[in-house]
Amino acid sequence: MNRVALKNELDSLHFDNSFIRKLPGDLQADNFIRQVQHACYSKIRPTPVANPQLVAYSREVAGELGLPESSCNSELFTMVFGGNSLLKGMEPYSMCYGGHQFGNWAGQLGDGRAINLGEVITKSGGRQILQLKGAGPTPYSRSADGLAVLRSSVREFLCSEAMFHLGIPTTRALSLITTGESVLRDMFYDGHPKNEPGAVVCRVAPSFLRFGNFEILATRQELSLLKQLVDYTITTDFPHLGPPSKAVYLNWFQEVCNTTLNMILHWMRVGFVHGVMNTDNMSILGITIDYGPYGWLEGYEPNWTPNTTDAQGKRYSYSNQPHMAQWNLLQLANSIYPILQDKEAIEEILQSYSTQFQTGWNKMMADKLGLATFTGITDDTLIGDLIDLLQEVETDMTIFFRNLSSLSLDSSGMDVKTADHPLYEAYYSPEQRSDAYCIRMNNWLLAYKNRLKGEQILPELRQQKMNRVNPKYVLRNYLAQLAIDRAETGDNSLVQELLEVLRNPYDEQLNNKRYAEKRPEWARNKPGCSMLSCSS
């Protein structure tokens, strides 16, 4: 297929760049670091790179955009999504926003290394924004270079797609492309920077608006522009709510709270820890955004955080994520209060978050345990006792819940201490379990079996139900690092293989069982396999 034909295929993308059509932009055209006032964005072009090479692409995202695989494997695709070319209709820009970072107002942040290429209208009528991450400096780059390294880009690309296939609201990733250039990074913030391979990820989402887009305008008292942005957001991304009005503003904020809560419950369900839940990393659509130092629970440790910056305070640990989401929603509420102008209604919405989360948590845990409904009189104790047990001995969360589905209700005499017990492989050091612990776990299993007997559901149907919410495969931290290690040598095979495995995280995949194994001992403290910094 020749270049002209391929160009025409890519040019079939229909761009409707409403964000820059309907909202005011930066009047300064030059690209230099500055405070951008009275504007929602700055027009900026990606920085061309020396030798872009395609590492991987998502065929599902490409299909949503209407791109055939032949286009994704073309030279033009690599040039466009590596930052070297623009398609007709693309009008690149970076957004202006602020944010609370670790609880403190940080002022203007903005897209320091993200550039929106344009907004595609898909064949189904949806809107998808194409955004390059790592495509060079913007007016919001502060002291940084606007680039990204292969290390973090592999993690973002794989996790975006893994989360989607797990059924978790998320931004997507169309492509991962190396730049042929080196990027200087201090991975551990310890004064020992080194050159790493550069890369660019093309992220895709209906909107990249964050809580911080509204915060920056409220802080600067640019209230007319704030209302304009709120109205645009409702009209574009929440049209089902109707034309903007006071009642619609409140319904909109309620929906943002609901979708954020839903996202957090999904994170908790699979053991995902975001690591940097600053308000500039919170999507107005309630989708997971900005995959920095994220991680997955290996042993069930509620206080674990993957972020080295958060190691002491553990503000963004696994168990704190529901509370931090509510705190962030409060900051959003403070920002849009001049538009909503109803303190009592806002407070009522925020106060209902805790109740709704508890209800959602109970249902989620009942689903993980294969229960038809949550019954407080029995299940409060059942779930509470299980969480205590999971923390007492290092227990792999993913394997424990997955294998729990294969528990036989007839095996009343089976001891969790025996090697043939379904839960045995979930323990990192089975020999460290005390007799007292095993007795308590056996008692819990007996209570659980008795609870299941009251469900009157066929064992195979219960197992199917549990296996639809308890994944077999997640992007374990050490697997991502192994893929990075290979990719940095030019071997992209593990990136491709993991992408394929993670497309079906709830299936058994008999040939891929090695990717469902618990973390090996060598990875316990290996850089990239446990905690990470924000360096990328």
C-alpha 418/C-alpha 457 separation (Å) is: 27
- Tell me the Cα Rg of the chain: 24
The amino acid occupying position 524 is R
Q: Is the dihedral of CA 13, 19, 21, 26 positive or negative?
A: negative
Residue 7, exposed/middle/buried by CB under 10 A (0-12, 13-18, 19+)?
A: middle
Q: Which of 258, 276, 255 is nearest to 266 (CA)?
A: 258
Q: Is the dihedral of CA 240, 246, 252, 254 positive or negative?
A: negative
Q: Which of 77, 4, 80, 93 is nearest to 49 (CA)?
A: 80
In eight-state DSSP terms, residue 117 is E
**Token pair listed for 462:** 């219960």
- In 10 A of CB 408, how many CB atoms? 10
The amino acid occupying position 274 is H
Chain center to CA of 105: 23
Residue carrying structure tokens 């250039």: 181
Residue 491, exposed/middle/buried by CB under 10 A (0-12, 13-18, 19+)?
A: exposed
Phi then psi for residue 345, to 5 deg, are -65, -40
Give the containing element (helix H, strand E) for 252.
Answer: helix 246-270
Vertex 81, ends 121 and 159: CA angle to 5°?
Answer: 85
> Any idea which residues carry the catalytic annotation?
280
C-alpha 526/C-alpha 486 separation (Å) is: 16
Q: Which of 47, 108, 288, 184 is nearest to 535 (CA)?
A: 184
In 3-state terms, what secondary structure has residue 399? helix
| Pairing of the two strands 114-121 and 14-15 | antiparallel
Phi then psi for residue 514, to 5 deg, are -60, -25
Residue carrying structure tokens 């040019």: 11
Q: Is the dihedral of CA 139, 113, 164, 526 positive or negative?
A: negative
Contact 274, 321 (CB under 8 A): yes
* Contacting residues for 380 by C-beta, under 8 A, at least 6 apart: none
Q: Which of 521, 244, 533 is nearest to 394 (CA)?
A: 521
Contact 265, 360 (CB under 8 A): yes
* Contacting residues for 230 by C-beta, under 8 A, at least 6 apart: 214, 244, 249, 252, 336, 339
